């Protein structure tokens, strides 16, 4: 067990070094939430004045959606990274060493869980500057960060499953967009559930993104509503079990 954890740690550090050596990846990951938060909060700010819109205004409402967009849109890097490792021969080299096979994947997943914390933190700081608050204080902020990290695990598992299956960066990018845009925009991220058309409400009811956004939103605006928070964690757990499980299953064909 100790050796497996050590392998995960070393491969995690390798993934971090690769990211640090590519500053454009860091810049885009940090700039995207800032861009989205500024644009959405300013362009759609009048939505907050509509009858029946949640109290606090549109900025307070939309921050939760922008926060959870970070693991949603950053997850594509995991799939592309595993494709690069397979096609470059890195995985083949690892297979002739005593390294734990699953550690090759979990090192990257741990990397994605860590990296998502930085844009989420920046989003929260900017949200404060724009007038938003986190009613649950420091404990709520920590739980928001933890929620985003675990959702990053589930989403990275999805793109890695695509990458291991197709062995194509283009396929990862294309399928990632097909999956992420409906998850993000047909949800409660940018519009209250009551304002969605009927078909969108039906989709939102089974959309994991809505559950996670709702959990972050109550932490920011309502309090520790554990029924909403625990529902989100249950959805994340099931989603992660499916996506990471699919990745491990597909990876077996690579390590044979």
Domain positions in the chain are 2-255
Contact status, residue 30 vs residue 123, Cβ threshold 8 Å: no
Choose among 137, 119, 136: nearest CA to 218: 136
pLDDT value at residue 239? 93
Contact status, residue 236 vs residue 208, Cβ threshold 8 Å: yes
Q: How far is CA 63 from the centre of its chain?
A: 15
The per-residue pLDDT string of the chain (256 residues; one tens digit each, 9 = 90 and over) reads: 767 788 888 888 988 888 888 777 777 777 777 788 888 777 777 777 778 788 778 889 999 999 998 887 777 777 888 888 888 888 778 777 888 888 888 888 998 899 899 889 999 999 998 889 999 999 999 999 999 999 999 998 888 888 888 888 887 777 767 777 788 888 998 889 988 899 999 999 999 999 999 999 999 999 999 999 999 999 999 999 999 998 888 887 766 5
SS3 54: coil
pLDDT value at residue 121? 92
> Angle CA(130)–CA(133)–CA(137) in degrees, nearest 5?
145
Contact status, residue 80 vs residue 108, Cβ threshold 8 Å: no
- pLDDT digit string, tens, across residues 186-203: 899 888 998 889 999 999
pLDDT value at residue 172? 79
């Amino acid at each position: 067990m100790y050796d497996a954890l050590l392998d995960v740690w070393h491969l995690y550090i390798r993934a971090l070094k690769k990211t640090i050596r590519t500053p454009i990846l860091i810049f885009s990951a940090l700039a995207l939430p800032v861009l989205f938060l500024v644009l959405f909060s300013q362009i759609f700010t009048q939505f907050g004045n509509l009858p029946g819109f949640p109290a606090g205004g549109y900025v307070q409402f939309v921050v939760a959606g922008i926060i959870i967009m970070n693991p949603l849109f950053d997850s594509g890097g995991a799939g592309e990274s595993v494709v690069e490792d397979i096609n470059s021969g890195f995985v083949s080299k690892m297979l002739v060493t005593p390294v734990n096979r699953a550690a090759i994947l979990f090192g990257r997943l741990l990397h994605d869980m860590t990296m998502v914390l930085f844009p989420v933190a920046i989003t929260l700081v900017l949200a404060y500057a724009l007038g938003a608050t986190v009613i649950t204080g420091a404990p709520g902020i920590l739980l928001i960060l933890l929620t985003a990290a675990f959702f990053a695990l589930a989403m990275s598992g999805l793109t890695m499953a695509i990458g291991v299956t197709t062995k194509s960066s283009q396929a990862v990018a294309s399928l990632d967009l097909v999956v992420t845009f409906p998850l993000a925009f047909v949800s409660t991220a940018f519009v209250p559930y009551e304002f969605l058309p009927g078909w969108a409400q039906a989709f939102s009811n089974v959309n994991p993104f809505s559950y996670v956004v709702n959990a972050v939103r109550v932490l920011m605006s309502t309090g520790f509503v554990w029924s909403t928070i625990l529902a989100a964690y249950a959805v994340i757990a099931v989603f992660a079990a499916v996506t990471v499980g699919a990745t491990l299953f597909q990876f077996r064909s690579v390590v044979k």
